[in-house]
Amino acid sequence: MDRRSFLVTTGVLGTAITTAGAHTLTVTPAQKETGLGPLFNRQRANELMRRADMEALLLTAPMNVYYATGAMPGASRFTQVNMTAALVPADLKRPIAYLASGFEYYISVSETGLYDDIEPYLTGGSLGDPDSRSNPAFGVIGNYQFDAREQHRRLLLEHAAPFQETLSTALTKALKDRSFGGRPIGCDTSDARSLLQAASANAAWRPADDLMLHIRSAKTPAELALMRTAAAANVDSALATARAARQEGTLINIRQRFFAEAAKHGNVAVCGSVDMVMDERADGQLREGQAFMIDFVSHHAFYQGDYGRTVFFGEPDKQMRYAADTGIKAWSEIQSRLRPGLRFSEIRRIGNDTVKKLGAPFTYAFNPHTVGLQHWDQPRMSVDGKPIDLPLEAGMVLSVDCHLLNAGVNGTTHLEDLVLITASGSEPIHRTGDNIVIV
The better pLDDT of the pair 323, 123 is held by 323
Q: How many of the other CB atoms lie within 10 Å of CB of 425?
A: 15
Of 22-26, 32-36, 240-244, 280-284, least confident by mean pLDDT is: 22-26
Map residue 432 onto helix, strand or coil.
coil
Cα atoms in the Cβ-side hemisphere of radius 13 Å centred on 5:
2
Class of domain 221-438: alpha beta
Residue 303, classed as helix, strand or coil, is strand
Buried b (16+ CB within 10 A) or exposed e, 147-161: ebebbbbbbbbebbb
How much is the average pLDDT of 45-70?
96
Lowest mean pLDDT among 121-125, 182-186, 379-383: 121-125
Number of helices and strands (H, E) in the chain? Answer: 15, 16
* pLDDT for res 45: 97
CA 115-43-420 angle, 5° bins: 90
pLDDT of 209 above 60: yes
CB atoms within 10 A of CB 51: 12
pLDDT at 240 over 70: yes
Q: Is residue 133 predicted with pLDDT exceeding 60? A: no
Q: Which residue has the higher pLDDT, 335 or 26?
A: 335
Write down the pLDDT at residue 32: 60
Name the more confident of 9 and 273: 273
pLDDT of residue 331: 98
Residue 162: the pLDDT is 79
Among 12-26, 163-177, 224-238, top mean pLDDT goes to 224-238
Whether residue 180 is predicted with pLDDT greater than 60 in this model: the reply is: yes
Q: What is the greatest pairwise CA distance in the chain?
A: 80
pLDDT at 29: 55
What is the arithmetic mean of pLDDT over 329-356? 98
Confidence band of 409 (pLDDT split at 50, 70, 90): confident
The number of CA neighbours under 13 Å toward the Cβ of 178 is: 27
Tell me what pLDDT residue 138 has: 59
Percent of the chain with pLDDT over 70: 88
Domain segments of the chain: what residues?
3-217, 221-438
Task: Classify each residue of 58-77 as buried b or exposed e, where b means 16 or more C-beta atoms within 10 Å of its C-beta.
Answer: bbbbbbbbbbbbbbbbbbbe
| pTM score over 0.85 | yes
Instruction: State mean pLDDT over 148-176.
Output: 85
Beta strands in 83-152 (DSSP E): 85-89, 96-101, 118-123
* List of residues 6+ apart from 14 with CB closer than 8 A: 7, 8, 27, 116
d(CA 322, CA 413): 10
* Residues in a beta bridge with 307: 296
pLDDT tens per residue, range 5-44: 434 444 444 433 333 333 333 344 555 666 678 899 999 9
> Average pLDDT for residues 316-342, to the nearest whole number?
96
pLDDT level of residue 152 (50, 70, 90 thresholds): confident
Superfamily holding 3-217: Creatinase/prolidase N-terminal domain (3.40.350.10)
Given this model, what pLDDT does residue 92 score? Answer: 95
Q: What pLDDT is attached to residue 27?
A: 41
All residues at 6 or more sequence positions from 317 whose CB lies less than 8 Å from its CB, including other chains: 289, 290, 291, 410, 411
Cα–Cα distance, 273 to 267 (Å, whole number): 17
Provide mean pLDDT across the span 279-285. Answer: 91
Q: What end-to-end distance do the CA atoms of the chain give, in Å?
A: 65
What per-residue confidence (pLDDT) applies to 158?
75
Is the Cβ–Cβ distance between 34 and 303 less than 8 Å?
Answer: no
Residue 93, CB half-sphere, CA atoms under 13 Å: how many?
2
Residue pair 412/275 in contact (Cβ under 8 Å)? The answer is yes
Tens of pLDDT, residue by residue over 93-109, are 999 999 998 888 888 88
